[in-house]
Amino acid sequence: MPKAHLHLHFTGSMRPATLLELADKYGVHLPEALTGGEPPKLRATDERGWFRFQRLYDLARSCLREPEDIQRLVREAAEEDVRDGSGWLEIQVDPTSYAPRLGGLISALEIILDAVRSASRETGLGMRVLVAANRMKHPLDARTLARLAVRYADRGVIGFGLSNDERRGMARDFDRAFAIAREGGLLAAPHGGELTGPASVRDCLDDLRAARIGHGVRAAEDPRLLRKLAERGVTCEVCPASNVALGVYEKPEDVPLRTLYEAGVPLALGADDPLLFGSRLAAQYEIARVHHGFTDEELAELARQSVRGSAAPEGVRAKLLAGVDDWLAGGPAA
């Protein structure tokens, strides 16, 4: 089924086999959590769990050292998305994390954007980049990153985000960075409503004027907030497998997909970090089908909402939406 993928982190998109090869190439020792078949239970709802998650992510990122590593990661992420029916991918990255090994901040972003253009040509997948600031760093760093993102708004950057532990750093501390991004024509898509409750979603709406929310699932705990999201048409990028792996919810059926969907909140299912959570885009739709009883018609509507919430050009949107209709009319098989 054609769909758009709006919540995929850069290093977290890596194939496990690729990580093993790169770790061997650079002599990086990986813990069993990154080499075993079962995705780790990280329980990031407590501080130790989040630290462990971040440590694993940083270890994986340390294996990306050369432009050809970046090219490979992006090409393989695109191939995986195409296999899952994605026709449009917005991959999220903080280029400051890669800058020390790639010749600086500007060089890192240009290498990433070049890799995205190459992968798009090779696979036929529409791809763009969402530059994300880090809540754990100073808001002035976010402003620098926002200005850089705006400079590349006509060269592959479509949005500006805010990631990492939402329990650290108030959304309002980053309001100037998001103002810079919005004024430069970028879509505002901060994380919120994952590790903390509805208040963090509300802060993203009120302080950062978010057009999309990364995760946003905890909004289900506040009916008034649900109405606000629905009325404003703010898309929540919901990542069910990630929510369970990080301990936000105990079981897949606990993720409030139905509550959000039936409240009229636009949704875009995302894989978040497949490297750590063990499932890619199509598996999120399977969770909706198996654990939440979504019908084929409802799955098709989820796919449409992902397309409508994207920054894809109108021609790409029209093609994907027509493809969803064809999928539904032809007897769904995936």
Task: Give catalytic residue positions.
Answer: 194
Helices (H), 171-272: 175-183, 198-208, 223-232, 240-245, 257-262
Q: Which residue has the tokens 């039936």?
A: 262
Helix (H, G, I), strand (E, B) or coil at 166: coil
Helix (H, G, I), strand (E, B) or coil at 46: coil
Give the residue from 61, 311, 72 showing the smallest Cα distance to 164. 61
Cα–Cα distance, 14 to 18 (Å, whole number): 7
Cα–Cα distance, 179 to 291 (Å, whole number): 39
User: Is the Cα dihedral 313, 319, 323, 324 positive or negative?
Assistant: positive
Q: How many separate helices (H) and strands (E) can be counted in the chain?
A: 14, 7
For residue 287, what are the contacts with CB-CB under 8 A and spacing of at least 6?
240, 241, 252, 255, 257
Contact 328, 296 (CB under 8 A): yes
Cα–Cα distance, 180 to 258 (Å, whole number): 35
